[in-house]
Amino acid sequence: MEFTLEELAAMSGGKIDGDPSLTITGAASLAEANRSEVTFYGNPRYLAAFRTTGAGAAFVPEGFTEQIVPGQIRVANPSKAFEQVVLRFAPAPIEFPAEIHPTAVIAEDVSLGEKVAIGAHVVIEPRASIGDGTRIGAGCYIGHETTIGAGCTISPNVTIRERIKIGDRVILHGGIVIGTDGFGFEEIAGIRKKVPQIGIVQIDNDVEIGANTTVDRARFGRTWIQEGVKIDNLVQIAHNVVIGKHTVICAQCGIAGSVRIGARVILAGQVGVAGHLEIDDDTRIGAQCGVAKSLRGGGGWWGYPAVPIAQAKEQMVWVRRLGKLFQRVKALEEKAR
């Protein structure tokens, strides 16, 4: 597939600087693009990389006047325009026929909606329910009495244990485990005894969860991931956690039991949250933060333990000045002798 610069401009609503007939056969990053490919530049931080790119064409901001590559298309949002073009060059999405693979093991009383696709070696236990148009990849396990809504995509090798409730249009990537026991024990006569974990996990509509993430069932009640939440790879969500609508949790975060996270919260990578805390709506928590107390009032937090971001920056400045402070104190001590 190929497009002229003029066709790319028409797709994106942009204005051309260069030869409209220039032919483009692919799309790539600034560092990897060659003369037959289009790239994009939208952040001044990458101007040096843009000046050394091998691309033949690029989407640039509307006010950008420097001519760096042979063909430039000025648009309001270069990243979005590039995304649209990448989708045009991308291969057609894989189609999953609405059929059940002969190696799948499905209990007799399972309820299957219309146009459900079930891959090889899937196991679906009794009294489970699968909604219309849902796709279940090879090697998945769906436990007893679990319900999965319509239009969901369950990637290969996902485990969804018993009595789990999953809404519509949920995307679960490979290796996820939903509904294992919460990590609950009590010490009796010096021996740790298991506390029964009899609750469920509820995942609402339009949630997406990344590969190898784990979500524990509640000790009682539910672990609840609300509508529109997006969770990255390798995240641990413990028993009875509640995650509010449209919250984003990045890779390698760990959330301990009974934490309540509000709506539209952002947890950057490797954040750790101690148990039984509350995080208010619209809170932003920086990478590798340690959350040891409830966070109130939203806003940005950073550090270990996490503090408001302005305070964290002030503390960082203090630490960097300690060397000079030590030298001054030492000089004063020597002078006083």
Supply the CATH number for residue 15's domain. Answer: 3.40.1390.10
Mention every residue, 6+ apart, whose C-beta is less than 8 A from residue 96.
117, 119, 135
Specify whether the CB–CB gap between 137 and 154 falls below 8 A: yes
Of 176, 103, 171, 179, residue with least CA distance to 134: 171
Q: Is residue 321 part of a domain?
A: no
Specify whether the CB–CB gap between 95 and 38 falls below 8 A: no
Residue 126: cis peptide before it, omega within 30 degrees of 0: no
Taking the model in full, what pTM does it have?
0.86
**Residue 300 belongs to what domain range?**
105-309
Q: How far is CA 72 from the centre of its chain?
A: 32
- 81, 206: one domain: no
Work out the burial of residue 244: count CB atoms within 10 Å of its CB; fewer than 13 is exposed, 13-18 middle, 19 or more buried.
buried
- 239, 264: one domain: yes
Encode pLDDT of 181-234 as tens digits: 999 999 999 999 999 999 999 999 999 999 999 999 999 999 999 999 999 999
Q: Is residue 96 part of a domain?
A: no
Encode pLDDT of 24-80 as tens digits: 999 999 999 999 999 999 999 999 999 999 999 999 999 999 999 999 999 999 999
Q: What angle do CA 224, 228, 232 make, to 5 degrees?
A: 80
First to last CA, the chain: 82
- The answer to whether residue 246 is catalytic is no
Which of 101, 144, 173, 239 is catalytic? The answer is 239
CATH number assigned to the domain comprising residue 226: 2.160.10.10
